[in-house]
Amino acid sequence: MDVGPIVKLFDTLMTAGAAIGLAAAGFFIMLAGYQYMTAGGSVRASPPTRPRRWQRARIAAYKACWPGGCAVTDLVAGIDAAVADGVDVINYSIGDGDPDYLDSDDVAFLFARQAGVFVAASAGNDGPDASTVDHGGPWLTTVAASTQNRSWVGTVTLSNRQTYKGISITGALSSTALVDGAKAGSEGCLTGLNAALVTGKIVVCEGSYSRAARSRAVKEAGGVGMVLYTAAETDTLMSDTHHVPTVHVKRSSGLAIKAYIASAGASASASLAGGSVRASPPTRPAGPVGAP
């Protein structure tokens, strides 16, 4: 099986559906090895791996969401089609933040369970307040994400000694020329970077999604590092494995760095410090579990 196009598609889109689909089929995404951060803050590389497990697993994907959202009629049609096709498991990472378990899609899952299909559905991204769990019906398994109190703090240090904190699990980069992606052909850096302006430099790019694909584009254009800032101030900073040393910062920090580049011109430079592990103090719930 030629998995190259699959890897390229996943790395470009970075969608939850692509990730879950590949994992469900037992496909090891990082075929060429990957870097990971140790508890001491150092970066180590794993050896390349080959897909071994569940090589005969099969997945079926049902298109029900579009750029404008997910129509309930499409969602129910997808669920019913999956049941009719004889699937064994339905994974559903879609929700509306409504704890009501009698929504049309949840009722469709009741019928799916009656047909012997196991359903795993996401609990949503709200909380921790009461009544914020989505898909609470007893006929399906509701799955929530977990959190931990560690973060991988990376630092961007400009030549004027201003520093900006962000997230990074990649290696460090000493003082290097800095260029604004918007002035080098592409603000988001996915396509259109001018290699003549980027080669040998750290590129400042905007983006909250397709993050690894942006660092790959920077590398392919000759860049040696990336400062990635969020599209919105409220977007989450992510600890991705990038193709070049990268620090992911908030939008306000990114705009400040861009302003520095505009002021300093060709003399603009920065260094990137690789992620170091920081743990925030543990917190205690305000009251006993289940308290009103």
- Which pLDDT value is given to residue 201? 97
Label residue 292 exposed, middle or buried (CB < 10 Å: 0-12, 13-18, 19+): exposed
- Which pLDDT value is given to residue 61? 87
Residue-wise pLDDT for 160-186, tens only, equals 999 999 999 888 999 999 999 999 999
Q: What is the identity of the amino acid at 152?
A: W
Label residue 109 exposed, middle or buried (CB < 10 Å: 0-12, 13-18, 19+): buried
Return residue ranges of the chain for CATH 3.50.30.30: 150-278
CB atoms within 10 A of CB 264: 14
- Which pLDDT value is given to residue 32? 39
Report the run of H or E that residue 77 belongs to, with start and end: helix 72-85
- Which pLDDT value is given to residue 25? 64
**Torsion 95-97-103-107 (CA) sign:** positive
- Which pLDDT value is given to residue 21? 67
Q: Give the mean pLDDT of the chain.
A: 81
Residue 8 to residue 37: CA distance in whole angstroms = 24
Is the pLDDT confidence value at 287 over 80? Answer: no
Residue 144 to residue 282: CA distance in whole angstroms = 20
Structure tokens at 162: 């201003």
Structure tokens at 219: 């590398």
Is the pLDDT confidence value at 9 over 50? Answer: no
- Which pLDDT value is given to residue 41? 42
The domain defined by 150-278 folds into Glucose Oxidase; domain 1 (3.50.30)
CA–CA distances in Å: residue 68 to residues 62, 65, 125: 17, 8, 19
- Which pLDDT value is given to residue 227? 98
Q: Is the pTM above the cut of 0.75?
A: no
